[in-house]
Chains A and B, each alone.
Chain A
Amino acid sequence: MRHIISILLENEAGALSRVSGLFSARAYNIESLTVAPTEDPSMSRMTIVTTGSEDVIEQITKQLNKLVEVVKVVDLSEAEHIERELMLIKVRAGLKEREDMKRMADIFRGRVIDVSDNTYTIELTGDCAKLDAFIQALDAGAIIETVRTGASGIGRGNRVLRV
């Protein structure tokens, strides 16, 4: 099953490699991993999307908690949460394709943020499934380049992860 795990960790050199090293050493899957400092610069917030059986996910959260620099871990998928990912996608947009491409971006609530003679760069946010759907909806030949950030997640309502 797909799980989205949020981690608060000390913003220290090497903390990221301890987390990624844990995943590779114990053969856990990582679909995506994003990390950046929080409002408190001494702390980073990481979101990891992973897949595994319930037993594996339990071990993943325990092993993460065991890392000395990890302050808190929560499996967001255990309850109501929101996830968002940002994608920048460069597509072919010559005279012929322009209008269709713009319409497609609109349907997905994307924004065209850069234009050249024959390309558009579209910014799109949403959950991972929506970004996948956008890519699916385009003609494979139309895509020149994609950059995705990986999912960031947060609990709904009063569900918070902080120290």
Chain B
Amino acid sequence: MDRVKGLELTGAEIVVRCLQEEGVEFVFGYPGGAVLNIYDEIFKQDKVKHVLVRHEQGAAHAADGYSRASNKVGVCLVTSGPGVTNAVTGIATAYMDSIPMVILSGQVPTHAIGLDAFQEVDTVGVTRPCVKHNFLVKDIKDLAATIKKAFYLATSGRPGPVLVDIPKDITAAKHEFLYPESVAMRSYNPVVKGHAGQIKKAVQLLTEAKRPMIYTGGGVILSDAAPQLTEFVRLLGYPVTNTLMGLGAYPASDKQFLGMPGMHGTYEANMAMQNCDVLLAVGARFDDRVIGNPDHFAQNPRKIIHIDIDPSSISKRVKVDVPIVGHVPEVLEEMLKLLRAGSKRVAAADLAAWWKQIEEWRGKDCLKYDRNSEIIKPQFVIEKLWEATGGDAFVTSDVGQHQMWAAQFYRFDKPRRWINSGGLGTMGFGLPAAMGVQYANPGATVACVTGEASIQMCIQELSTCKQYRMPIKIVNLNNRYLGMVRQWQELDYGGRYSSRTWTRCLISSS
């Protein structure tokens, strides 16, 4: 560990040294008065590289995309006041999908806080509901330890964005630099290892099931547990579905994969979720897009096993029979051990009958569309994209129908390849996220599947792509509509397409 004993550094130098210690390669940011000292220090070294976006929302999405497409932490740097308020949408997006990310924000000098100073905003207050945790550094002696804590909190337990607000005078003050090697917090000790008794119970339920179903989500991606999950599912021979956030955790081209569940999911995945007798949920949170009304979902009797690192995800929307609080790969390893040791399935005939039923559902081919239509169908475009990229691209998306088509038709066989805003559903995410993805995977093919409306929400980042020569492929599924809104107006509002004309103007003038 690099230590500068006795040597006094400025706060700005300390910030940059901390980033170096954390192995941060890229910071996505936008400068302003309160962070100029930090920018000056970034300029003086070359370990931490800065990527200048065109809007702070873009910085947050890029840092977020960087995290999602790697197992590193994305970092963004913004100035006080409008800098941070611009970043809020991006921070909330990362929060809803539990993405580890560190946001450094400038703040007015400590003596000016609370005086309605120029570009002052209560950053800790504004961001509190959409971060895992945030800090205001009031004393330079706490600076390094606070940044260390921020990285630790962002990546441990249920991950999430953590913000460190740094007043300008703190970046100028001097202090000895000591980067702590580890963090211990009496108030924060996430559980990692699952309860042995519960794990045993879960394995027993699973092996005795007649109609088992495995439902996995973002938690498997976030904890890099795709290998364990794949082994587990194959060993059991059970059907599996991945949520929108969990796509790629199990190879989509494998026949045990039933597609995505939920509102935009496949018939077979939903029917299997509904009719199974034992449901194993892994790092998935029974979202309303997935199970709809929890009371209706609960009407079919089934035993539910739920593995999640966050106790508050368990029994939040759906009552669970076997809760297992723990880190997905650890828990799956434990379950695999029991399975390998001989807890074999008893009734192979039941499983065969269950698969027969599932194949019947699958036979409906619910996602079929007209491949030969004169007008190219969006689904077809995604299938061609899959072909052209050998199914191996990193695909980001915006929000709308194009997002659902990409999720349904690009068969993700690997984790961290599908990058989208599921929880907040943020239009404008796709392009800046793709920038982060490209930085995390320099040689890789990165495609942003977007709609003609979404792309305009962060269109300014095209300029960033140009400046840094990022070879991002933008696939705009231009349906000349706020397609997803139109779809709802069709279904729920008797086809009253309020604001459609506006859409038309927008498109014809662009």
Taking Cβ atoms with an 8 Å cutoff, the residues of A that contact B are: 9-10, 13-14, 17-18, 21, 25, 55, 58-59, 62-63, 65-66, 68-71, 163
A10-B187 in contact (CB<8A): yes
CA distance A45 to B297 in the complex (A): 40
A17-B187 in contact (CB<8A): no
Given A58-B315, A59-B312 in contact, is the A69-B187 Cβ separation under 8 Å? yes
> Which of A21, A62, A71, A163 is B311 in contact with, Cβ under 8 Å?
A62
The B121-180 residues at the A interface (CB cut-off 8 A) are: 124-125, 128-129, 132-133, 136, 153
B128-A17 in contact (CB<8A): yes
- Which residues of the partner chain B approach A68 to less than 8 Å between Cβ atoms? 132-133, 153, 185, 187-188
User: Assuming A25-B129, A58-B315, A70-B187, what are 14 further A-B pairs, CB within 8 angstroms?
Assistant: A9-B187, A10-B187, A14-B124, A14-B136, A21-B129, A62-B312, A63-B312, A66-B310, A66-B312, A68-B132, A68-B133, A68-B187, A68-B188, A163-B186
Chain B, residue nearest A62 (CB): B312
CA distance A65 to B187 in the complex (A): 9
A31 to chain B, nearest CB (A): 22
A132 to chain B, nearest CB (A): 33
A102 to chain B, nearest CB (A): 47
The B169-224 residues at the A interface (CB cut-off 8 A) are: 185-188
- Which residues of the partner chain B approach A14 to less than 8 Å between Cβ atoms? 124, 128, 136
Taking Cβ atoms with an 8 Å cutoff, the residues of B that contact A are: 124-125, 128-129, 132-133, 136, 153, 185-188, 310-312, 315-316
A49 to chain B, nearest CB (A): 21
A59-B316 in contact (CB<8A): yes
CA distance A101 to B306 in the complex (A): 60
CA distance A9 to B188 in the complex (A): 11
- Which residues of the partner chain B approach A70 to less than 8 Å between Cβ atoms? 187
Pick from B187, B188, B312 the residue with the most CB of A within 10 Å.
B187
- Which residues of the partner chain A approach B133 to less than 8 Å between Cβ atoms? 68
> Which of A55, A65, A71 is B186 in contact with, Cβ under 8 Å?
A71
B241 to chain A, nearest CB (A): 26
Chain B, residue nearest A24 (CB): B129
Per DSSP, are chain A's interface residues mostly helix, strand or loop, or mixed?
A: helix
A-B residue pairs in contact (CB < 8 Å), sample of 23: A9-B187, A10-B187, A14-B128, A17-B128, A18-B128, A21-B129, A25-B129, A59-B316, A62-B311, A63-B312, A65-B311, A65-B312, A66-B310, A66-B312, A68-B133, A68-B153, A68-B185, A68-B187, A68-B188, A69-B187, A70-B187, A71-B186, A163-B186
CA distance A63 to B314 in the complex (A): 11
CA distance A13 to B185 in the complex (A): 17
- Which residues of the partner chain B approach A21 to less than 8 Å between Cβ atoms? 128-129
- Which residues of the partner chain A approach B125 to less than 8 Å between Cβ atoms? 17
B454 to chain A, nearest CB (A): 27
Pick from B133, B153, B311 the residue with the most CB of A within 10 Å.
B311
CA distance A77 to B188 in the complex (A): 25
Chain A, residue nearest B310 (CB): A66
CA distance A65 to B311 in the complex (A): 9
Pick from B132, B133, B186, B310 the residue with the most CB of A within 10 Å.
B186
B297 to chain A, nearest CB (A): 15
- Which residues of the partner chain B approach A66 to less than 8 Å between Cβ atoms? 310-312
CA distance A66 to B98 in the complex (A): 14
CA distance A25 to B129 in the complex (A): 8
- Which residues of the partner chain A approach B311 to less than 8 Å between Cβ atoms? 62, 65-66
CA distance A66 to B311 in the complex (A): 8
CA distance A21 to B311 in the complex (A): 20
B129-A55 in contact (CB<8A): no
CA distance A63 to B313 in the complex (A): 9
- Which residues of the partner chain B approach A18 to less than 8 Å between Cβ atoms? 128
Chain A, residue nearest B312 (CB): A62
A71-B312 in contact (CB<8A): no
CA distance A4 to B187 in the complex (A): 21
B286 to chain A, nearest CB (A): 13
A53 to chain B, nearest CB (A): 12
CA distance A55 to B298 in the complex (A): 15
Given A14-B124, A14-B136 in contact, is the A71-B310 Cβ separation under 8 Å? no
CA distance A10 to B315 in the complex (A): 28
Chain A, residue nearest B185 (CB): A68
B219 to chain A, nearest CB (A): 15
- Which residues of the partner chain A approach B310 to less than 8 Å between Cβ atoms? 66
Chain B, residue nearest A14 (CB): B124
Given A17-B128, A68-B133 in contact, is the A55-B315 Cβ separation under 8 Å? yes
Chain A, residue nearest B138 (CB): A13
CA distance A81 to B153 in the complex (A): 35
A71-B136 in contact (CB<8A): no
- Which residues of the partner chain A approach B316 to less than 8 Å between Cβ atoms? 59
CA distance A70 to B132 in the complex (A): 13
A11 to chain B, nearest CB (A): 11
CA distance A18 to B310 in the complex (A): 18
CA distance A17 to B186 in the complex (A): 20
A72 to chain B, nearest CB (A): 8
CA distance A68 to B315 in the complex (A): 21
- Which residues of the partner chain A approach B132 to less than 8 Å between Cβ atoms? 68
CA distance A17 to B133 in the complex (A): 12
B157 to chain A, nearest CB (A): 9
- Which residues of the partner chain A approach B129 to less than 8 Å between Cβ atoms? 21, 25
